[in-house]
Homo-oligomer: A and B are copies of this chain.
Amino acid sequence: MSSSIQKVAIDLGDRSYDILIGRGLIGASEHFQRLGFKGHALIVTNETVAPLYAQALRQTLEAVHRRVDMVVLPDGEAFKQWDTLNLIFNALLERACDRKTVLYALGGGVVGDMTGFAAASYMRGVDYVQVPTTLLAQVDSSVGGKTAINHPMGKNMIGAFYQPRLVVADLATLDTLPQRELSAGLAEVIKYGPIADAAFLDWVEAHVDALMQRDESALAYAVKRSCELKAQVVGKDERESGLRAILNFGHTFGHAIEAGMGYGAWLHGEAVGTGMLMATDLSMRLGLVDASLARRIEQVVARAGLPLKGPDLPAARYLDLMRVDKKAEAGEIRFVLLDGAGRAVMKSAPDALVAEVIESRTAR
């Protein structure tokens, strides 16, 4: 049982749900029980996470559902595509799962995004629960209802806005997370301060070393505050017509890094970390932030063990990749930039200026 459980309530009308944060939650059936599910459960997980946590979750869910099945996907961003998604559909159809079936996403953002999209699409929509096991998934991808798979021509191009019924972030799962993945998750934690809450940037600055050492109370607060900040934004703009786009701070550059290197070479969070520095540089060159804020962000990113420079691709390649990215409308790239600490703005910028930023921020 977890000694202290934090709760963040996501208020989206009839699609509202809770995020629970605490140690040992996977072993506690009462939180799942409360939802009153009547159908089968299908745990969706991957080859890495299954041996670590699937048995515990299955046992818990057996007290909730009259039948619990499992499908184990191959591990990796490269598998976040149709063929893997179809393994979930196959599993559902082989077991004649009906519309009352509940999918449980046990894993990182890849498993979460695919499970969410499978839930959105199976019979035009069944319930799902997120059980995120990476820091990135706990602070970001499991919250907000964005689901997707990749297409060879672009990341997250095919998906749905589809909210989970519950998010259960068990801090104990972070014990087994490789350090590189922890750093990648910290990139998304760091993101929230500059765009939405200057005080949280201060807190992260003061606690980044504790977070790197997996201090539990620091992690608990980082997850909770990140979810709160994300929830604030998503609550105002569920379908990303405007405001929500600020959560993509660092992501336009980041997606170009990921796509340019082939998905999986860089971790999503690593690309976002470097992407935030590029976006901050661009903000500075546009006169929106001063050098001291840029330096602070760079130092936090560095202490979180994240790369400070992007891969050595020509600036023109970055620009092409960003133009195909979904934030580009009618060929014009809209960047999420900073306007001081704790405030984001959407802006386009001259290609030449963007190219300068990229050139000074790539490893050559």
Residue in B closest to A38 when the chains form the complex, CB atoms: B330
How long is the Cα–Cα vector from A70 to B301 in the complex, in angstroms? 45
Q: Give the contacts of A131-170 with B (CB-CB under 8 A).
A: 146-148, 151, 153-154, 157-161
How long is the Cα–Cα vector from A146 to B161 in the complex, in angstroms? 16
Verify if A324 is at the interface (C-beta below 8 Å from B): yes
User: Given A324-B93, A330-B100: A122 and B157 within 8 A (CB)?
Assistant: yes
Verify if A86 is at the interface (C-beta below 8 Å from B): yes
- In-complex Cβ contact of A93 among B125, B151, B239 (8 A): B151
Verify if A96 is at the interface (C-beta below 8 Å from B): yes
Residue in B closest to A94 when the chains form the complex, CB atoms: B153
Cβ contact within 8 Å between B239 and A122: no
Q: Give the contacts of A219-267 with B (CB-CB under 8 A).
A: 239-240
- In-complex Cβ contact of A148 among B120, B124, B151, B157 (8 A): B124
Residue in B closest to A90 when the chains form the complex, CB atoms: B153
Cβ contact within 8 Å between A82 and B86: yes
Q: Which chain B positions have C-beta within 8 A of A90? A: 153
Cβ contact within 8 Å between B157 and A125: no
Q: Which chain B positions have C-beta within 8 A of A82? A: 82, 86
User: Given A82-B86, A90-B153, A160-B160: A331 and B96 within 8 A (CB)?
Assistant: yes
Residue in B closest to A145 when the chains form the complex, CB atoms: B124
Residue in B closest to A96 when the chains form the complex, CB atoms: B324
- In-complex Cβ contact of A89 among B86, B157, B239 (8 A): B157
How long is the Cα–Cα vector from A302 to B248 in the complex, in angstroms? 59
Verify if A343 is at the interface (C-beta below 8 Å from B): no
Cβ contact within 8 Å between A121 and B160: yes
How long is the Cα–Cα vector from A329 to B97 in the complex, in angstroms? 8
Verify if A356 is at the interface (C-beta below 8 Å from B): no
Residues of A bordering B, CB below 8 Å:
39, 82, 86, 89-90, 93-94, 96, 98-100, 120-125, 146-148, 151, 153-154, 157-161, 239-240, 323-324, 326, 328-331
* Closest A-B pairs by Cβ, 6 of them: A93-B153, A124-B159, A121-B158, A98-B329, A123-B326, A96-B324
